[in-house]
Structure 1
Amino acid sequence: MSGGARRAGHGRDRDVEGRARNARPRDGLGRPLPYGAEGVARQPEGVVRGPAETVREAQRLLDAGMPFHAHEVFEDAWKSGPEGERELWQGLAQLAVGLTHSARGNATGGARLLRRGAGRVAAYADGGGETYGLDVAGLVAWAGELAGRVERRAGGGAGRDAAPPDAATEAPRLTGP
């Protein structure tokens, strides 16, 4: 339960400081499972990593089909990094959450987050800030292409009966080929 506990007599999970914190186990896409079920280990919160370590850890999680967990790594980076990089890390987190929602079958929310994240990340193209070797153009193109596919699936076109995208198969390469 990653530091969380359910208080007897209370309907909400609380962490050791008493803050509301959902302690239910989660699957690889971050969906809550029933209490007592075997889940995927949660990412520890508040971990301060350097940019290269953040990118490596997020890529490992993306490749494992766990974009929800990769989003948490990017969230730590935006919360602990310099203000000037906040949009980059938030955009990357939105790309990961967009993939999460798309893989869960939420085409509308997934496409919206993919496009929003791509817009934030695109601001770093052409010298718009430090990118730590990220393939900004490739990520923007990936997000647009995936968003289009999930929108077509939801829109009733030929792909309507297609399964939601597989998170591991669809995971982007953060640093390019």
Structure 2
Amino acid sequence: MKKRMLALLPIAFLAGLAVQPAVRATAGPADDVQAAMQLLKSKAAELGQPVIKGEETTGGRTVPALYFGSTKMNNNFQLVDDVQKERGGTATIFVRSGEDFVRVATNVKKDDGARAIGTVLDPKGKAFAAMSKGKPYFGEADILGRPYVTGYEPIRGSGNGVIGAYYVGYLKN
């Protein structure tokens, strides 16, 4: 019996390899969003705990300064650009400023090609409603007039309050 089982192992392995490309080919934008979100969050966690320390002007707005550990996120594009290089799409770090969520680090571009720092998460959108309640949002969203498949997750400070949001997204075809 053991010999028969051992003889079947290579066949089962090869059958698994034959199926794998088909599975990979069916992976869609939602899978890309999940993978990019995990990458963004893990890279942020490597930097340290999220915390607000003072204020900074970002895109013409004075907003709370968001740090991961000792690394300030406001006007710092390394993290979001690293995620874009590895996973494609776009990435943003938002800070909560009053009732708004303001882009402080992003590779989302405005029509003029400049980074959309200082712009806010659409207060009428589903993502904003979810972030305001401390809940994640995964789905379609209009970002600066363009349709994206997106993911948003809250950034929580030491007291578990929402101090910002992670975003990743892919332009819809």
The verdict on a shared fold, with TM-score over 0.5 as the criterion, is no
Larger Rg: 2
More helix by share: 1
More strand by share: 2
Which TM-score applies when normalising by structure 1?
A: 0.26
Which TM-score applies when normalising by structure 2?
A: 0.27
- More relative contact order, 1 or 2 (CA 8 Å, 6+ apart): 2
